[in-house]
Structure 1
Amino acid sequence: VVHCREPVDSPGSVETLLDTSELARETEAGFADVIACKVSDDNAVLAFIVDVTGDESYELRFRHLRGGIWNVRIPNVRSVEFTGHGNGQSGVGVLAVQMHRETRRASRVSYLCVGASHVEETELWEDDNAAAYLEVFRTKNRRFVLLSSNTKETSELRVVRCGTSEAPAKIRPVVNKLLNRKEGVEYFAEHREGFFYVVSNHQRPDFAVYLLSEDQLDEVAGWPQLELFFRPQGGLHVTDVDLLADSLVLYGNEAAAPRICVV
């Protein structure tokens, strides 16, 4: 697999970021499986997660895309997102989900300040629940990184506001709780124009969409502040959501068939 990018203002000028076949040739096992590939906000640093042994021993690595050499490697990382803090010269801020060494469960979120030959690590959240699986993902407008802890029947999201390339990467980010965990309740979220769009099953088993102002983060319980935005009709079971410039797109299924609903 070859990971590439092409400048918007220069069609046809394709740049290769990462070639997994080249990675494989560098390993003893001749194997490389890349499960995540992210570019920093200043377009200077590539972060990727790779398994080079075939036993899901994932490792976070970095490449400077403007010619520098970054020798930092962090073992047991399952998920990664840039926070927007820092740049390719002074160092970048990264949120990483690390796996327990014995169980391989994604159990801990750390903030990493990463430079060419150093990394400073600060733990932000560790979930001791053996049934929980943690991951991080950035909202589509790139304003926030959401820290997610999910079991088969519950969810909890925490929120980190993204910074800029001028913001020092060494400053620890503030983590806010979106909504408290509730037994039997699952939810996920996106963000647009000052509001989190929360997709939850706390009132409708097949999920509905609610609004929560970003100004109400960390308020007591959180759930009373939710405002109903859209309740799907019929038996649509919502599984995913996309926020576009003027539309909300819900993906799901109804009567064993896939369905898309545009609001």
Structure 2
Amino acid sequence: MSLAARRRPAARGVILDRSLEELPLFRLSDSADDVPVSFTTENGGRWRVIPAPGDRLPGTFDQDVYVELLHRYHEAGAPADGAITFTLHAFLRSMGRRADGRTYEQLRAALSRLERTTLESIGAYWSAQSAHADTSFTVLSTVSVQRRRVADREQLHLFGNLAAGEPGDARVTLSGTLRANLAARHVVTISAARYHALSSPVARRLYRILEVARADGRLSWRIPLERLAEQLPLTQRYPSHLQRVLQPAHEMLLSAGLVRDIAIRQYDRQWHVDYVLGSRPRDES
């Protein structure tokens, strides 16, 4: 890291691609389900998330890795080539995760999935490069993780600026499609601290999608319950099951002050969720 980067104050907000935040990407459970995520937008656009052969869809851990990657990209000053470098140990600790053999492997797998999972849009994803033209891309265009040799790790205690618990270094490149939207300021901003304070993956995803509604200038947002399930996405389909999944996440959002009120009501045989948003918290500006 350069001296200028070390002197740069830590970014309070995480700047995310607004187009991607509107669309489902991460399964909110880490099941082995390999069925592509499909979603149809209000304008008739079609979106699919297609796992790599032999792998599963990105899940809850991958969602947190994605947010941390965007946080680090912003903190690094949005490098023109999209490259971010970090140690696995420091990355996990920044996510609030325990750094051990299991989480190192989880992180390597998540980075690989973000490179190999195809995001396919037919008029669904707005791009600063091509508007609503059909496109496919991945979150990461390249991933390289160098494992330190055992002999190297045994020498780490001789160097004060290295930690013996770091088993590898990663260099990843953020997709040019995402970088173009970030550069064009087609973005939403969340607070890293508020995001990590939410212990539920569903609450974390809701926080991100509600910021899209807030960025549109809405003070309230009504959405059919079934459509919300598709947009998050959730695998449950019965209204009673969806409400049971959403209730603890809603309680977290209310307790954190991220929304003012939430109500699930039935109108003409269809269930809707009403969110009263209010203004954006100061630490997300």
What TM-score does the superposition give when structure 1 sets the normalisation length? Answer: 0.30
Counting strand residues as a fraction of each chain, which structure ranks higher? 1
Q: Between the two structures, name the one with larger relative contact order (CA 8 Å, sep ≥ 6).
A: 2
What TM-score does the superposition give when structure 2 sets the normalisation length? Answer: 0.28
